[in-house]
């Protein structure tokens, strides 16, 4: 599990579960490239995998010569260990809510947590949030249901 500081830095760089999955996929591709008969140069790696290169340099203080299988596997494990807040939002709002949700979770949940935005056709407005076994319903649907049935 990443330390609290590295989890915060990693969550700040990645932000969403979708970005995390894309980065893990890039790490797996780079691991395959490194296993090739002729591994890529650091310049090729920097151009082809800029996000991985940036995180290894900035988040972990690794030099460009330390893009090794061990460091990449460590980064992949740190990414997989990051906790996620699952946020169900109305389908139409899914794109615009990422930055707001990331900042809200950083301030109210944990600075080292990622946001997993799940578009929902069942919600009119608001959001439903679950994290660490807790569930909160901040949706308009809940308010309407309470007004009609209580």
Convert the pLDDT of each residue in 72-84 to its tens digit.
888 888 888 888 8
Please report, for the chain, the start and end positions of each structural domain, with discontinuous segments joined by +: 4-81, 83-149
Q: Which range among 9-13, 19-23, 142-146 shows the weakest confidence by mean pLDDT?
A: 9-13
- Average pLDDT in the 33-50 region? 74
What pTM was estimated for this model as a whole? 0.73
Q: What pLDDT is recorded for position 112?
A: 81
Indicate whether 23 pLDDT > 60: yes
Residue keyed to tokens 């894309």? 22
Q: What pLDDT is recorded for position 54?
A: 79
- Average pLDDT in the 7-11 region? 76
43-76 pLDDT tens trace: 777 778 888 877 777 766 655 556 777 878 888 8
Rounded Cα gap, residues 18 and 137, in angstroms: 22
Torsion of CA 34, 35, 39, 45, to 10 degrees: -20
Indicate whether 26 pLDDT > 80: yes
Contacts of 104 (CB under 8 A, 6+ apart): none
- Average pLDDT in the 142-147 region? 82
Q: Which two tokens stand for residue 101?
A: 């949700």
Alpha helices in 4-139 (DSSP H): 4-14, 17-34, 42-48, 50-58, 69-81, 98-108
Q: For 39, which DSSP code?
A: P
């Amino acid at each position: 599990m990443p330390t609290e500081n590295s989890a915060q830095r990693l969550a700040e760089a990645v932000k969403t579960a979708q970005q995390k999955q894309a980065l893990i996929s890039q790490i797996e591709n780079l691991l395959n490239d490194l296993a090739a008969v002729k591994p890529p140069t650091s310049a090729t790696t920097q151009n082809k995998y800029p996000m991985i290169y940036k995180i290894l340099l900035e988040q972990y203080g690794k030099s460009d010569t330390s893009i090794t299988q061990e460091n990449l596997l460590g980064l992949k494990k740190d990414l997989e260990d990051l906790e996620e807040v699952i946020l169900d939002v109305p389908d139409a709002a899914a794109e615009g809510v990422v930055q707001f949700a990331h900042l809200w979770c950083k301030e109210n949940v944990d600075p080292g947590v990622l946001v997993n935005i799940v578009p929902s056709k069942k919600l009119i407005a608001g959001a439903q949030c679950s994290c660490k076994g807790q569930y909160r319903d901040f949706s308009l649907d809940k308010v309407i249901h309470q007004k009609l049935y209580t």
